[in-house]
Amino acid sequence: MHKIISFVCILILAGSITEVKAQNAEKWSLKECIDYAQKNNLNVQRAHLNVENSQVDLHQSQYNRLPTLNGSVFNSYRWGRSIDPTTNLFTTQRINSNGFTGTSQVILFNGFQQINNIKANKARLESDAYALEKAINDVSLNVVSAYIQVIFARELLENARIRNNSTRAQLDNTKRRVDAGSLPITNLLDLQSQFATTESEVVRAENDVALSMLQLKQLLMIPGEVPFDIQVPDMNIDNLDMITEKPEDIFVQSRRFMPEVKSAEVALEGAEYNIKVAKGAHIPTVGVQGQIFSNYANTLDRQRFVADGSTIQLPPEPIGFIEGQPNTTVFAFGRTVPGGEIIDGYPVIEQWKDNLSISAGLNVSIPLFNGFRTRNNIQLAKIQRDRIKINVEETNNQLRQLIETAYTDAQASSKAYYAAEKQVEALVETLRAIERSYNLGASNIVDYQVASDNLFRAKSDLTRAKFDYIFKMKIIDFYLGNPLTLD
């Protein structure tokens, strides 16, 4: 029994802590939500990576103008019949050889392909940067829409609670009058049914608030169990500026800075440079290259004579006898030979130094025929350019259509809001009159229920029209270049 009581106390304490956390959840402003979404949205992160990838490609195209430098070393053993690298003669001796090679090359001219490739990559980087801005704008608009949806759901919940409280008060009043015998029991039963309906509407509205809040949290990549709340700004609909610009004027102004338009236009510039790159393959390529080489072989690593620059005069040497005169010796003339010493071994470093070979040269590569590859690459580059032209036109058309739709929606939502406002004002007076008449016994419960339902629906329609009007006007502001705020 004590364990059960302890367990129940723990549950109550845990529930209390959770409730306190929920109540103490930090309230986020719209700007904070937008900033957080821009940092954590996956599409924005993907667009960031595209920009970084384009930056790497641009840097690489710039570095391609620098000389290349490559080196290699080798070491090998050969057995059996092979060629001695020092004498170029066949031998069966085991040979150990090693060496190194270094090469460098720089392109002096290749039909401006490098320059045009750099320009094309710059255009691609700029286009991806605008695409990143477009992704940020998209997530910002989605956050604004979800943020407004939460506020809208809360206002509907407040309307439902007000109606529920009003029905409860009327139910209590009717119960007292039924108990006093001034009203029939059917009035009480009808109001009890009405009260149950209003309670279910409150529950439904609470679920809508929870769902809209969950959708906002999911958009922000925040787990559902994390405490979270938003600040409700002062959205006075009277502060909204009326639309004075025409749709075509908004479009002209918008296309100057909208990132999707700029991205498509810059991509078209890059496509033109890609055509020049493809055409550059028709032009000869001029380059300079150099090479350094040396090697070692163990077949030379033995005793050897190394001259020191001096000379030695050798005396005449006997080379034979005169035929028939064996006592007469024939001598060769004296000769001069280089001086030096006998050294035991020919190590690697000395062989590398003595065998060092350096070369440099100018080369010209002339394209003559490559299976029409260059011609086809030019055609493909032009086709890609034409695709991007269509994309530019399509992007402009989409922007124009979005602005026209937003303009029409804003006007329609404005009319719907003011019509709903007048309807609510009229139905408030109607309900007040019927309620007064009902309390005096001049009206029946059906009239009261009908008036109450009409007013509730009208208030819900007014709330919906209000937030729809605010959102549509913010869309127009966005296309005019104004920041996304609800203040």
Best CA proximity match to 106, nearest among 282, 284, 285, 280? 285
Average pLDDT over residues 304-332: 76
Q: What is the dihedral of CA 421, 423, 425, 428, to 10 degrees?
A: -130
pLDDT of residue 443: 67
Residue type for 392, please? V
DSSP β-ladder status, 95-109 and 68-78: antiparallel
pLDDT of residue 117: 96
pLDDT of residue 25: 60
Best CA proximity match to 388, nearest among 235, 308, 269, 227? 269
Least confident of 136-140, 172-176, 266-270, 376-380: 172-176
Kindly list the structural domains of the chain, giving each domain's residue range(s) and its CATH number in brackets, ordered by start: 111-282+375-479 (1.20.1600.10)
Cα 364 to Cα 106, 138, 236, 283: the distances in Å are: 12, 52, 74, 10
3-state secondary structure 42-56: HHHHHHHHHHHHHHH
Q: Which residues contact 98 (CB under 8 A, 6 or more apart)?
A: 73, 74, 75, 76, 295, 296, 348
pLDDT of residue 12: 33
pLDDT of residue 21: 36
E-strand ranges in 135-284 read: 229-230
- 140: pLDDT strictly greater than 70: yes
| Residue predicted with more confidence, 352 or 166 | 352
Q: Which residues contact 118 (CB under 8 A, 6 or more apart)?
A: 58, 61, 62
| Residue predicted with more confidence, 279 or 11 | 279
Mean pLDDT (the chain) is: 86
Name the band, by pLDDT with cuts 50, 70 and 90, for residue 236. Answer: low
- 203: pLDDT strictly greater than 60: yes
Least confident of 25-29, 437-441, 469-473: 437-441
- 2: pLDDT strictly greater than 60: no
Name the band, by pLDDT with cuts 50, 70 and 90, for residue 242. Answer: low
- 480: pLDDT strictly greater than 70: yes
Strand partners for 101: 72, 293
